[in-house]
């Protein structure tokens, strides 16, 4: 069962590994990313950030979709972390059962982005994809840590 989905360009780090993992009562962390599984350095650093007692799974987005849709992951309470809004859109769009919400935690600032909060920057394409998710019933919100106030995003 998916407990939580977060967009964070840093993937697994202190905020996600400690604060969010505990708050979501997950027992498995899924890093859904197309690059990390094939990058030994990123994979190793991600593994080092694994919360104590958590199962850590790192796999490409399409394989993540396939595994979740197959039911093989049903025995876990899963916290999913993706690197970008586009990755979240791809993941959620491919799931048979849509999650209730998507947490925006941190996205990189570039020349093509607009800053919508302290740590969240979006492109025009991100806005389109977030609107589609929102329209499909997925609550999109910004919240850095579980103890902070959340802000619903609606484009």
- Residue pLDDT, tens place only, 53-76: 999 999 999 999 999 999 999 999
Among 137, 53, 123, which Cα is nearest to 93's? 137
Q: Read off the CATH number of the domain in which 137 is found.
A: 3.40.35.10
Catalytic residue among 9, 13, 25, 86: 13
Structural domain boundaries enclosing 44: 2-152
Q: What is the pLDDT of residue 16?
A: 86
Q: Total structural domains in the chain? A: 1
* Catalytic residue status for 9: no
Count CB atoms within 10 A of the CB of residue 131. Answer: 14
* pTM, rounded to two decimals: 0.96
- Rounded to a whole number, what is the distance in angstroms from the first to the last CA of the chain? 28
3-state helix, strand, coil in the chain (%, to 5): 35, 25, 40
pLDDT digits (tens, 9 = 90+) for 15-46: 788 899 999 999 999 999 999 999 999 999 99
Among 80, 34, 91, which Cα is nearest to 57's? 80
Residue 145 parent element (H or E): none
């Amino acid at each position: 069962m998916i407990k939580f989905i977060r967009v964070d360009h840093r993937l697994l780090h202190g905020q996600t590994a400690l604060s969010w993992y505990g708050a979501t009562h997950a027992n498995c962390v899924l890093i859904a990313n197309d690059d990390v599984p094939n990058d030994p350095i990123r994979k190793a650093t991600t593994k080092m950030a694994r919360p104590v007692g958590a199962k850590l799974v790192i796999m490409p987005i399409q394989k993540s979709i396939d595994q979740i849709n197959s039911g093989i992951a049903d025995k876990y309470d899963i916290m999913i972390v993706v690197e970008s809004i586009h990755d979240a859109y791809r993941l959620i769009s491919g799931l048979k059962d849509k999650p209730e919400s998507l947490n925006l935690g941190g996205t990189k600032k570039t020349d093509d982005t607009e800053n919508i909060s302290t740590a969240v920057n979006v492109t025009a394409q991100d806005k389109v994809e977030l609107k589609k998710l929102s329209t499909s019933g997925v609550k999109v919100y910004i919240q850095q840590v579980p103890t902070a106030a959340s802000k619903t995003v609606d484009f």
